[in-house]
Structure 1
Amino acid sequence: MVLITAAVFAVIAAAIHLYIFVLESLRWTAPTTMAVFRVATPQEAAATQALAYNQGFYNLFLGVGALLGVVLLTAGSRVAGLTLISFASASMVLAALVLVISNRAMIRPALIQGGPALICLVFTVLGA
Structure 2
Amino acid sequence: MNTIAQIFVVLAGVFHLAVFALESILFMKPSTYQRFLIRNEADATVARPWAFNQGFYNLFLALGALGGLVAGGDKGHAISLFACACMAGAGLVLVAADRRMLRSAALQAGPPILALVLAAVL
TM class, shorter-length:
over 0.9
Tell me the equivalent position of 1:60. Answer: 59
Residue identity (%):
39
Question: Are 1:46 and 2:45 counterparts?
Answer: yes
**8 Å CA contact retained: 1:82, 1:124:** no
The residue identity in structure 2 corresponding to 1:123 is: L
The aligned residue for residue 90 of structure 2 is: 95
Amino acid in structure 2 at the alignment position of 1:102? A
2: distance between equivalents of 1:5 and 1:70?
A: 13
Q: Distance in 2 between matches of 1:32 and 1:51?
A: 18
How far the C-alpha of 1:4 sits from its partner, in A, is 0.4
Q: 2:112 aligns with which of 100, 114, 117?
A: 117
Answering whether residue 3 of structure 2 is matched by residue 4 of structure 1, we say yes
In structure 2, the residue matched to 1:30 is 29
Q: What residue number does 1:86 align with?
A: 81
Letter in 2 for 1:118: I
Say if 1:21 and 1:59, in contact at 8 Å, map to a contact too. Answer: yes
The answer to whether the Cα contact below 8 Å between 1:69 and 1:85 also exists between their aligned partners in 2 is yes
Q: Which runs of 5+ in 2 are unaligned?
A: none
> Could you report, residue by residue, the CA deviation over 1:101-124 in whole angstroms, capped at 9, with x for unpaired residues?
111121110000000010011112
Distance across 1 between alignment mates of 2:55 and 2:33: 14
Partners of 1:33 and 1:104 lie apart in 2 by: 19
| TM-score, with structure 2 as normaliser | 0.95
Deviation string, structure 1 residues 24-49 (Cα, Å, up to 9, x no partner): 00111111101211210100000010
The aligned counterpart of 1:108 is 103
Where 1:97 maps in the other structure, the secondary structure is: helix
Number of residues of Structure 1 aligned to a counterpart in Structure 2: 122
5+ unaligned residues in a row in structure 1: which ranges?
Answer: none
Question: Equivalents in 1 of 2:116, 2:21: separation in Å?
Answer: 24
- Aligned AA for 2:74? V
